Amino acid sequence: MSVTILFLGPLRDLAGETERQVEAPLDWNGLLKAVGPEVAEQLDQERVNLACKGKVLADKRSLYAEDGDEVALLPPVSGG
C-alpha cells in the first residue's frame, strides 16, 4: 500500500537516492515532508515540476497520489 517517489536528474543527487516508497495516499504537504528539507526547498520553486501517473500536473500543489501511483520530481531540463 504505497506511492513511489522518483527523483530525476540533479534531484537524484540531492535526495541521495533514485526512488523512495511512502505510504498512500500522498498529497503536497505529505510529499514535502517525505522528501526532506533540501529537496522540499527545490520542489517549492516554480521551475520544478511534478508528474503523477505519467502526467505533469498543471498545479503541483493539487497532488493526490493513491496506492500504486508513481510521483516523479522533474527539475528543469538541461541546456546545451
Partner 1 sequence: MPKTVTKWRCCPRSAVARLSISTPLDVRLLDKGLSVGEALAAFNAAHEQAGGVVSFLGKVRPDGGVKALELTHYEPLTQPGMESLAQDALARFELDGALVWHRVGVMTPGEAIVLVAAASRHRRNAFEAADFLMDHLKSAAWFWKREKRADGWHWIEPRDADHADLARWK
Q: Is 16 in the site for partner 1 (CB under 8 A)?
A: no
Residue 72, beta-bridge partner list: 6, 51
Q: Tell me how many residues contact partner 1 (CB under 8 A).
A: 18
Looking at the Cβ atoms of 6 and 32, the one nearer to partner 1 is: 6
Closest approach of partner 1 to the CB of residue 7, in Å: 11
Contacts of partner 1 in 22-61 (CB under 8 A): 47, 51, 54, 56
What secondary structure does DSSP assign to 4-72, as a single string? Answer: EEEE-THHHHHHTSSEEEEESPEEHHHHHHHH-HHHHHHHTSTT-EEEETTEE-SSGGG-EE-TT-EEE
Summarize as ranges the residues that interact with partner 1 (CB under 8 A): 6, 8-10, 13, 47, 51, 54, 56, 70, 72, 74-80
